[in-house]
Structure formats: C-alpha cells, structure tokens
Structure 1
Amino acid sequence: MRLSLLFGKTQREIPGEAETISHQLLLRAGMINQLTAGVYSFMPLAWRSAKKIMDIIRDEMDAAGGQEITMPVLQPIELWEKSGRGAAFGANLFKLIDRKDRVLALGPTHEEVVTDLAAHYIQSYRDLPQRLYQIQTKLRDEPRPRGGLVRVREFIMKDMYTFDADDAGLEVSYQKMVQAYKNIYRRCGLKAMAIEADSGAIGGKASHEFMVLAESGEDEIIFCPGCGYAANVEKAKFDKGSSIEQIPLPMTDVETPGKESIEDVAKFLNLAPSQMLKCVFYIADKEFIIAVIRGDLEINEVKLKNLLKATDLRLATAEEVSEQGIIAGSASPVGQKAKVIADDSIVSSINYVGGANIAGRHTNNVVLGRDFNAYKTSDIASAGVGAKCAKCGGTLESTRGIEVGHVFKLGTFLAETFGALYTDPEGNQKPCVMGCYGIGVGRLLAAAIEQNHDDKGIIWPMPIAPYPIHICGLSLDNEKVKEAADKIYADLYTAGIQSLYDDRIESPGVKFNDADLLGMPLRITASPRTLDKGGIELKKRSEKTFTLVPIDNIVGEVKRMIDEQMKAAA
C-alpha cells in the first residue's frame, strides 16, 4: 500500500477526548474514527490488524473442535423474557419496535439464540459434544463508553457456545477453550493472565477473565505473587483471619459523643476496627437492605448483588435511611425490621461493638444470632492490597488490566429453559450442560497497543501488524532513490510480503515521525546517503540501531526477520 493513497491521515496533536494510550494512538494514527459515542469506524490499517486477529481466533477455535456459524443480530424480546436475563442486562439491552409493533432486541450476546438453535438439532447423546462459534457484531447500550475500543456500544466479538452431556464433558470443553485462549494471546504477541471472575449478567457456575496488564486498564486485579492466585476485585477471596471464641456478655451502652466513623469510635473506645460492626445501607430491587461487616473491611457490592440475585443495587439515600428510623453514624443491626445481610467475617461467638441507633451512643457486646439475625451470611467483603492470601498466606497485591476474554461455565439453566435436551443411553432425557466463551476483537487490538508502545507511537507485534514493514523513501525527487524504493516495494510484493510504502514528497522528519506513530515492526529507509554507502537501512521499530543491507539482499533479510518475530510468538 502506497501511503499517498492510504485512506486516513495522521495527526500530531493528542485528541482531548482520548483518555487511554491506545485511544490516543489509534486516533492520532488515523486508524479509527468516532461516529458517535462508543461507535467507531475501523480505518484500513486498523481493519487489517483486526482481520489478522480474527484469523488467529478462527485457527484456534477450529483446532479446538469449533464449527463457525452466524446467528441473527435481531432477536425477539420473548427469548430474553423467557430466559429472564433481559432484566439482568437492564438498560444495556438495545430494543426496537418493528412495523408490526413487535419488540426486538439487538443482540448483546447469543446464549438465548444458540440454545434455541441447539434445541432443534441436538436430540441424542450421540450428537454431543457440540462447539459452535461466530465472529460478529454485538450491541450494548453502555452508559459510559470510554477508552476508545475498550468500552464501546457496538463491537466485534468472537463468541463460542459448547454443549456437553455432563459436567465432566463441560470441564473438557472449558479447558480446551482456556488453552485456545492462551494460544490466541500468545500468537497475537500479548502477555495475558487468567483470573477468577464474576459471571455478571451472563450467569453460570464459574468464570475466568483473561487480562492484559496495563496501567490504563479499567479492571482491578488482586493477585498473590507467592502462589499465583489472581482474581478480579469483584470476585477475589482473602483470609480474614480467625477469632478466639468469647463468652457472650450482656449488651451495654456507652456514650461516644461526636464520634461517628468506625475509626473515630474505635480510637475513642481504644478498640481495633475489627472489633466493631459496620452497617451499610442499600436498595436492592426497591427493597431496603442492611449489610453488616467487620469494621476493618469494606463491602464488595458485586458480591452483595450476586448474593441477593438483585437486578439493581445502589446505596440508600439519607432520606431512605431516615425513613427506616436509623440514625446514621450510630446505626445498629439490632432491632431492625429490614433484611440484614452479614459478611462471614462476623462470628457468632464474638462480642462486637455496634451502633446503639441513638446519636452519640454505641453498644458493647453485640452478638450475631443472639441480638440480631442475618437473612444470609456470606462473603461480601472486598479484598485489598495487603490482605492475606486465602491459598498460601502470602500478601495480596493489586494491578490493573484490560479484559480481552471471558469464559463461563453456564451449566444447565438455559438448556432447561429452552428445551435443549438429549436422550442418554438409557433413554432418559437430560439437559445439555453449556459453556460460553467470548473474545472482543477491538478490545484485544486496543490492549495490544496498551502493552506495545513508546512515547513515539505504536509498536505492533508482528503477527497482528497491519503490515510487517514500512518503507521510507527519502528525497524521492532523486531518481536513483525513487528507483531503489520502488524496486524494494515491488520485490517484496513479488516475494509475498505486503508493505506500507511512504511514497510521499515529505521531509525525513515527517516520514520518520509517521513511521514511528504507525508502528510497523520493521522499517526500511532508502535515501541518497544510504545508497552512497552501498545499501539501505533496515531496523526494528522496537530498537534504535539499524543495519545497512545491500539492496539485492533486502528481501531475504526481511523474510528472516519476519520469520524470527513470528516464531517468537508461535
């Protein structure tokens, strides 16, 4: 491709709306263009990269036994009502009404559609396992699109769905997909890690996210450098410590004038925050909830929402708290009519200090099970930096990452709902055991840039670079230089190597700046100076030094360097 003919222009200024490195560089490189919030056009260079990513994904899905299909974007809303997941997706689910007043959804994912499809064609255990995938546009009405291609409203995703006879079969399919995903990221030249994750609106028994580590990532990852445990902060577990059993003592009130926070009350009473109860108030699907946790811990709202199976969870307003007769700053779970959810850090054999529900007063010796009861007791605490690892006792740390893939063990709930049943060898009908597996193509492309760039621009990994090589012809008004640059471009093409050829009449500074910004893995420079020295310059984008190569040797040397970088990612 001659750069003079390329559709799209580079720009020097950093776009004001771009927060992340990948967003800035993709816009500056003229690789994407925003049509409206969270909706982008892929320009030629970015689309070439996206297609290479999709080719790698197809290779690995096919190798793992996948069969590619395509399913409708338009989905009857009845499918979502039948599964009950329309409420879980909430306002993120795009809807439209056709000319016959039928409500349709624009598919954010395809579990409902593929399960309905499977119900038509899977009849016997002999039909299993099945692994079906597609690479297709998805639409979600994200409330806050951000980060360029990281969080958008319209995006390309590979989604696979597996159907097995039992949990053991699902485990085989799941592990095949986990390995396939690892292969995909490695072949794309990315470093990714699998972490335990929350299943969110997709649902299911268990899930893992694949994260590319990046400072600009929107996800916080809690990990243990000792044993390798890693989980999304929404899912992370940690050792909360054990408590020595105590003899329950009678409740007694104590004056705490002007002390409302856990820290202030604990200091005033000469206690550790872990000896106190913290109450946090929520509205879960319009129901008032009191979440109670040990004073030194924080509530994880995702864990709480999942425990309650709530569609909507938010903090209660001051007015809503007051309507319950609760005094903020001295709140108590004792004597409340509202539903109480307790974190499992609260032990029934411990005397805690809690609010007295009277301003300026707290209560000693509050005991779970004697003085108040919990509707449910579970882990609803957030793991933080410095907490103890539940697996090895090490110290947990935190980093940030961009989610580039998610795999779920769905189980049987959708198969039971949509009648995706099979007959086993004994003639009994059973539901298929399902898994689903997604990779966002645009996210992966953006993550590659977040992980591979410098202060000058993108440094594409060779396997997904739009072109493997960028030819810079300097002083092209010099016939000798133009002839040499044209020959290199033609010889590479004849050898099966497509390149990006900067054939513009521009200064060396402009050409080098654009080459660094666009980030092709290799760069050739032909100029009067290099030709006078008997060759042309060949350098890696990631390195400062170059090699002078005779023109007759350039094709072979380029092939060698491409093969070298491709093998490194294979």
Structure 2
Amino acid sequence: MRASRFFISTLKEAPSDAEIVSHKLMMRAGMIKRLGSGIYTYMPMGLRVIRKVEAIVREEMNAAGAVELLMPLVQPAELWQETGRWDKMGPELLRLKDRHGREFAFQPTSEEVITDVVRSEIKSYRGLPINFYHIQTKFRDERRPRFGLMRGREFTMKDAYSFDRDVAGMQQSYQIMYDAYTRIFNRFGLKFRAVAADNGAIGGSGSHEFHVIASTGEDALVYCPTSDYAANMEAAEAPSLLASRAAPSQPLEKVSTPQMAKCEQVAEFLKLPLAQTVKSIALTVEKEEGAKEYWLLLIRGDHELNEVKVNKVEGLGAFRFSTEAEILEAYGTVPGYLGPVNTKLPVRVVADRTVANMADFVCGANDKDYHYLGANWGRDCAEPQVADLRNVVEGDASPDGQGVLAIERGIEVGHVFQLGTRYSQDMNCVYLDENQHPVPMQMGCYGIGITRILGAAIEQNFDDKGIIWPTSIAPFEIVLCPMGYDRSETVKAETDKLYEALLAAGVDAIVDDRGLRPGAMFADWELIGVPHRVVIGERGLKDGNLEYQGRRDAEAQQVPVAGMVSFIKDQLKR
C-alpha cells in the first residue's frame, strides 16, 4: 500500500466530545468518524485493524471446530417472546415495526435465532455436538453512549453457540472455547485476565469474562497473585473477616448522633473505628395484590454492597431500594438511622458474613439523630439470615485459601457462558436420544467484542505521541518513510525495492510517498501507532544503512540495507 493511494486523515486535536484516551486517539488518528450518538463510521485505517482482529478470531474459531454462518440483524419479536426476553431486556433492546405493524428486534445477541435454527435442523443425537458462530453487527440502545467504541450503540461482535447432548458435553465445549479465547487474546498481543463472572441477563450456570488489563478499565478484577483464583468484583466471594463471634462485653446504649446519617460521621463523632459500625440498607419486594415485604441488609461500615450478590439471596430476585415513605412506615424514622433493633414493622434481616460475627457493634436506633452502641445478636435483636453481600477488598483472604486478594482494573472484551437449557427448554429445542426420547439440548454461548478490542488495546498501549498497536492487529506492520521520495531517484529506488521485498516476504507494509516533511510524517505514524518504521535517506544509503525504529524504542538503529528484510522478519516474530 502507498499512502498517496490510501486515506489518511489525522487531527492535531481530538474533538471536544472525546472523553477517554482510546476515543481521543482513534478520532485523532482518523480511525473512526462519529455519525450519531454511539454510532461511528469505521474509516479505512480503523477498518484494517478490525479486519485483522476478525481474521485472528475466525482462524481460532475454525481451528476449534466451530462452523461459521451469518444470522440476520433484524429478528422477529415472536422468538424473543418465546424466551421472555422481549419484556425482560427493557429499553436496551431496539424495537421496530414493519409496514404491516409486525414487531422486530435489532439484535443485541442471537441466542433465540440460533436456537430456532438448531431446533429445526438437528433432530437426533447423531447431529451433536455442534458449534455455530458468526461475526455480525449488533445494536444496544445504551442510555448514555460514551467512550467511543468502548460503549457505543452499534458495534461488531463475534458470538458462538454450542449445542450438546448432556452437561458433560456442554462443559467440554465450554472448555474448548475457553482455550480458544486464551489463544486469541495471546495472538492479539494483549495483557489479559480471564475471571469467573456472573451470568447476568444471559442466564445459565457459569461463566468467565476475558478482560484486557488497563488502569482506565471500568471493571474491578479480583485475583490471588499466589494461586489461579480470579473473578470479577460481582462474582468474587467475600469471606467473613472474623473467624467467630465474641461474647457481648457492652450494654446496649442509645446515644445522640445529631445530623449524622453516615457511618463515617458516626465513627468519627464516637471516636470509634469505622469497622465497628454497621451500615443498613432498606429494600422492598413487591408481593402479590400490592403487598410489600421489607428487608434490611447489613454490611460493615467500611464495606460496599454488591447488588449482584443481593439478587442471588432467595426472595430478593426482584428487590428495589425502599422509598423514604416505606422506610418511615417500616422503621419509624428517616434514612441514615436504621438498624435491626426494634423496627416498627416486622423486617427480614440479612447480615453479611462479617457482620454476622460482629459483637458490640454500632447501628442505627430507628430514631432520627440516634444510634445504638454495644448492639449484639441474640441479646438485642434476633439472629439474622447470613449471606455474602459485600464487595471484596484488597487483602481479603482468597476463597481458595492460597493467599490474599489483589485488585486491578480491566476492560471486558469477551465472555463465555454455560447456558445449560435456559433457551432450549423455553424454545423446545430437543433431540432424540439413543432410545428415541426427546431431551433438551445443553447450550453454551461465547462472545468477543470485535470493535471493543480496538479501544481496549489502545487503553493498554499508548504514550504521549499516540497509539502503540501490537503488531498482530496493527493497521500496517511497518511503514517505510523515505526522505525525499519525490526528489531523489536513489531514495525512491531503494524504497521501492525494499517495499517489494517486504511484500514478497508476507509483510504488511505501507510506503509514505506523500512528500511530507520528516517531522510531520513521523508524527502521523506515531499517532496512528504502526509498530515498526524504516527511514530511507541519502545520507544513510551512502554508508549502506537504513534506519529502523520500533514504536516503543527510545532511539533508532542503523541496519545494513542488504539485511533489512531479514531484520524486519525477526522483529515481527518477537
């Protein structure tokens, strides 16, 4: 490729709406162009990166035995209604009608469609296992699209779906995909971590997320440096920080805490450790015929509630936070002074594991401007239901007993799920076993955010000059920068010779023949992030050398003209 025949449109400054590094640099490097909120045109330079990401994904999917097809963007509402997701997905699902008034969804994912394909095509156990995948445009109507390709509304995703006879087969297919994902992210050249995760709206029994490690990542990843344990914050198990509960040593005492509705304020006022306080969160569950059930969740004052874990407490699958009117009705006071002692109405109390082992703790007195000192389970209030309710913190014991937990930031770019019969049961996707009995198929699904990879890779690989692409997904592997290509026959001849030799060796090279001054030329390619650069100039050629510099290198090095192709091939292998 020659730059004069390509389209390069770099900017000195990022548009004002670009918020994070990857968004700013992709806009400045001319890789994407905003069309509307959360919707971008992939410009030629950015599209080359996308195609390289797709190629690696496709190669590994094919090698893992998955079969490619292509499912439609627009899907009939009836399929989504079969699984209940037409209503459950809410406003993120973009809905539309045709001229006849029939309803459709613009796909955010394709579990329903692939299940419909398989239930009509595969009838016998002899057709299983099978794994289908496609690389296709998706749309999710994000409430607040932001961060460029990181949280856009339209994006490209690879989603795969496995179908098996039984749980053991499904788990084997899941492992095959997990291993394939590991190879894919290694080939991308990115530092990543696979972590245990919650299945969320997809459903099923188990899953792992693949995160690109980046300090700007939205997700907190929990891991044990001395073992294989890793999970995202939503799924990380939080152990009790107290091995057992001590006997009460203080009387229950009601103390005045005027205008102190937060645990931090109360602890400071009473000159007590924050870890001796208990934070109360009031929830409401709507029952049949308008009845309400009130719940009180308790976590230590220095901990944070994990709402995903709350959803898993039996009876709290449809919880919401209580209104001030409901709090007044159930506790007889205003928010900030709630506690498990002497509630106005019967309340179901659930204590986090650590809180359940606390003694002589501080909690709200269910009376405005008052708290209790020396509260104890059993003596002052009934024993609570116990559950894991909190986020872990650094230094917590690892659930596998092999060390303590650490936390780093990551960007989710892939997710693999064990779906089980979540969709096959609802959609009657069954096969006939050896005894001609109908059995629901066991499913798995596996997604990679193709376009999100670009943003994540940049968030992990950039400097003050611009992007630093890993070689495997760079728009070009190497750029040739001739000094005076249009003025020096010697420079032009050597540049063209090297270019042809690199192409013959299978190297994806571009020649910058635009006639720019060296500073402007180098600035463009450093911004774009091409990982290898060769400068061809008359001065170096007189000594029989060319100048090579890797995108991360502080200085250039001289390489003999005759050995440059071999040298570049060695660099690309690293």
Task: Return the TM-score normalized by structure 2.
Answer: 0.89
Deviation, 1:112, is: 1.3
> Which of 344, 368, 381 matches 2:390?
381
Aligned to 1:398: 407
Unaligned segments of structure 2, at least 5 residues: none
In structure 1, C-alpha distance between the alignment counterparts of 2:109 and 2:442, rounded to whole Å: 18
Deviation, 1:296, is: 4.3
Specify the SS of the correspondent of 1:187. Answer: helix
Conserved 8 A contact 1:245-1:350: yes
Q: For structure 1, which segment, 192-201 or 4-13, has the greater mean C-alpha deviation from structure 2 after superposition?
A: 4-13
Aligned to 2:542: 532
CA 1:317–1:537 in 2, change beyond 3 Å: closer, same or farther? same
Specify the SS of the correspondent of 2:149. Answer: coil
CA 1:560–1:304 in 2, change beyond 3 Å: closer, same or farther? same
- TM-superposition CA deviations, 1:368-416 (whole Å, max 9, x none): 7994586x64322111223232222633222111111101111112111
Residue 445 of structure 2 corresponds to residue 445 of structure 1: no
Aligned to 1:493: 503
> Which of 300, 306, 329 matches 2:336?
329
Deviation, 1:294, is: 3.8
CA 1:263–1:336 in 2, change beyond 3 Å: closer, same or farther? farther
Specify the SS of the correspondent of 1:208. Answer: strand
In structure 1, C-alpha distance between the alignment counterparts of 2:11 and 2:48, rounded to whole Å: 20
Aligned to 1:544: 554
Paired residue type of 2:518: P
CA 1:551–1:264 in 2, change beyond 3 Å: closer, same or farther? closer
Q: What is the number of equivalent residue pairs in this alignment?
A: 563
In structure 1, C-alpha distance between the alignment counterparts of 2:177 and 2:286, rounded to whole Å: 35
In structure 2, C-alpha distance between the alignment counterparts of 1:128 and 1:38, rounded to whole Å: 39
In structure 2, C-alpha distance between the alignment counterparts of 1:549 and 1:273, rounded to whole Å: 63
- TM-superposition CA deviations, 1:224-266 (whole Å, max 9, x none): 2232422111111122234535678999552334254334545
- TM-superposition CA deviations, 1:498-530 (whole Å, max 9, x none): 421111121111011112112222211112222
In structure 2, C-alpha distance between the alignment counterparts of 1:227 and 1:179, rounded to whole Å: 19
Q: For structure 1, which segment, 364-373 or 79-88, has the greater mean C-alpha deviation from structure 2 after superposition?
A: 364-373
Residue 433 of structure 2 corresponds to residue 418 of structure 1: no
Aligned to 1:163: 163
In structure 1, C-alpha distance between the alignment counterparts of 2:462 and 2:358, rounded to whole Å: 55
Conserved 8 A contact 1:11-1:30: yes
Aligned to 1:76: 76
Deviation, 1:152, is: 1.2
* Sequence identity (%): 41
Conserved 8 A contact 1:53-1:441: yes
Residue 480 of structure 2 corresponds to residue 474 of structure 1: no
In structure 1, C-alpha distance between the alignment counterparts of 2:448 and 2:529, rounded to whole Å: 24
Deviation, 1:57, is: 0.8
> Which of 400, 408, 418 matches 2:417?
408
In structure 1, C-alpha distance between the alignment counterparts of 2:302 and 2:554, rounded to whole Å: 51
Conserved 8 A contact 1:64-1:176: yes
In structure 1, C-alpha distance between the alignment counterparts of 2:244 and 2:560, rounded to whole Å: 78
Aligned to 1:512: 522
CA 1:402–1:311 in 2, change beyond 3 Å: closer, same or farther? same
Q: For structure 1, which segment, 489-498 or 35-44, has the greater mean C-alpha deviation from structure 2 after superposition?
A: 489-498
Deviation, 1:331, is: 1.1
In structure 2, C-alpha distance between the alignment counterparts of 1:520 and 1:349, rounded to whole Å: 57
Conserved 8 A contact 1:192-1:212: yes
In structure 2, C-alpha distance between the alignment counterparts of 1:36 and 1:380, rounded to whole Å: 40
In structure 1, C-alpha distance between the alignment counterparts of 2:357 and 2:240, rounded to whole Å: 15
> Which of 508, 512, 516 matches 1:502?
512
In structure 2, C-alpha distance between the alignment counterparts of 1:329 and 1:125, rounded to whole Å: 59
In structure 2, C-alpha distance between the alignment counterparts of 1:385 and 1:284, rounded to whole Å: 32
CA 1:368–1:206 in 2, change beyond 3 Å: closer, same or farther? farther
In structure 2, C-alpha distance between the alignment counterparts of 1:326 and 1:161, rounded to whole Å: 52
Paired residue type of 1:161: Y
Paired residue type of 1:226: T
Paired residue type of 1:50: I
In structure 2, C-alpha distance between the alignment counterparts of 1:354 and 1:119, rounded to whole Å: 56
Unaligned segments of structure 1, at least 5 residues: 566-570
Alignment of 1:294-313 (within 5 A): 294-307=300-313
Deviation, 1:494, is: 4.3
Aligned to 2:281: 280
- TM-superposition CA deviations, 1:189-247 (whole Å, max 9, x none): 11211111121211111111111110111111122223242211111112223453567
Paired residue type of 1:181: Y
Deviation, 1:456, is: 1.5
Deviation, 1:182, is: 0.5
- TM-superposition CA deviations, 1:20-77 (whole Å, max 9, x none): 2222221111111111121111111221121111111111111111011111211122
Aligned to 1:118: 118
- TM-superposition CA deviations, 1:525-556 (whole Å, max 9, x none): 11222222223223322223434344444334
Aligned to 1:460: 469
Specify the SS of the correspondent of 1:149. Answer: helix
In structure 1, C-alpha distance between the alignment counterparts of 2:407 and 2:494, rounded to whole Å: 52
Aligned to 1:568: none
Conserved 8 A contact 1:253-1:361: no
Aligned to 2:25: 25
Aligned to 1:146: 146
Task: Return the TM-score normalized by structure 1.
Answer: 0.90
Specify the SS of the correspondent of 1:422. Answer: strand
Deviation, 1:9, is: 0.6
Conserved 8 A contact 1:194-1:209: yes
Specify the SS of the correspondent of 1:505. Answer: coil
In structure 1, C-alpha distance between the alignment counterparts of 2:437 and 2:249, rounded to whole Å: 58
Paired residue type of 1:439: I
- TM-superposition CA deviations, 1:415-456 (whole Å, max 9, x none): 111011122223332211111110001111222222222221
Deviation, 1:489, is: 2.7
Paired residue type of 2:338: A
CA 1:466–1:253 in 2, change beyond 3 Å: closer, same or farther? same
In structure 2, C-alpha distance between the alignment counterparts of 1:7 and 1:106, rounded to whole Å: 32
In structure 2, C-alpha distance between the alignment counterparts of 1:34 and 1:195, rounded to whole Å: 33
Specify the SS of the correspondent of 1:358. Answer: coil
Alignment of 1:26-45 (within 5 A): 26-45=26-45
CA 1:257–1:427 in 2, change beyond 3 Å: closer, same or farther? same
Alignment of 1:34-433 (within 5 A): 34-245=34-245, 252=252, 254-258=254-258, 259-265=260-266, 276-282=277-283, 289-307=295-313, 315-322=321-328, 324=330, 325-333=332-340, 334-337=343-346, 340-347=349-356, 353-363=362-372, 365=375, 367=377, 371-372=381-382, 377-392=386-401, 394-433=403-442
Q: For structure 1, which segment, 13-22 or 111-120, has the greater mean C-alpha deviation from structure 2 after superposition?
A: 13-22
In structure 2, C-alpha distance between the alignment counterparts of 1:85 and 1:340, rounded to whole Å: 32
Conserved 8 A contact 1:226-1:392: no
Q: For structure 1, which segment, 261-270 or 136-145, has the greater mean C-alpha deviation from structure 2 after superposition?
A: 261-270
In structure 2, C-alpha distance between the alignment counterparts of 1:321 and 1:481, rounded to whole Å: 80
In structure 2, C-alpha distance between the alignment counterparts of 1:485 and 1:444, rounded to whole Å: 33
